[in-house]
Amino acid sequence: MFRPRVIPCLLLKNMGLVKTIKFKNPRYIGDPMNAVRIFNKKKADELIFLDIMATKENRIPDIEFIRNIGEECMMPFAVGGGIKSMKDIESIFKAGAEKVVINSSAVINPKILKDASSHFGRQSIIFSIDVKKNIFGNYIIYTNSGKKSTGLNPFEFVKIAEEHGAGEIFLNSIDRDGTYKGYDIELIKGISNRLEIPVIASGGASKIDDFKTAWIEGNAFAAAAGSLFVFHGKKKAVLINYPSRDKLAHLFKV
């Protein structure tokens, strides 16, 4: 039986695992390799690693670190941050990642999606898009870890990304990131309904029922979350967690 993938999204800063709220104030929460080992035991569907400093520092995520993840990780994983060239992508794949996540550079020049998908296969190329509302209530694409407004309409630009070869869209709501307010279903549905490729919803999940809402109401093919998988309780104690496969199967049973 088909069920949407449920994906922990792990943010990296200076080789440590961090969590943000609305892309701001990254809080250190521990060793990413320890998180990988726990997600192995929990049998997570996939993992996504995003280096939030890579674009600012004009580099890609540390290759040795990716290699270490590849040796430890028992599920498919994707890596993003600062990717600008075919050489960058090749280096990340050679280190062991199954997918790459391309954000800012693909907004500037979507041709990188076409070149990457033609050479490495469309299924391995994720276009990441960070979106928030402006003061007029319009959705706008932001780059550089949510710091730079492009003025671009996300509903129009995702079609360009799809036409250029993106295999999946990783859709991140900046306004919902780390807030526990639930996914932005209006945004997710608006993007999903314009595309034939899968959309991974991210930003705002507060409970596992939100995954089903993103699927049923938002037409997302997968649901990603950060805070929900690394914090526990009202005081947000750090506790790496993931629902059992039986629990997910029951959740998505329709």
Residue positions annotated with a catalytic role? 130
Q: Strand 24-30 and strand 77-80: pairing?
A: unpaired
| 29 burial via Cβ count (<10 Å: 0-12, 13-18, 19+) | buried
Q: Report which secondary-structure segment, H or E, holds 35.
A: helix 32-42
Phi and psi, residue 37, nearest 5°: -60, -40
CB count within 10 Å of CB 71 equals 11
How far apart are alpha carbons 96 and 69 in whole angstroms? Answer: 8
SS3 (DSSP) at 196 = coil
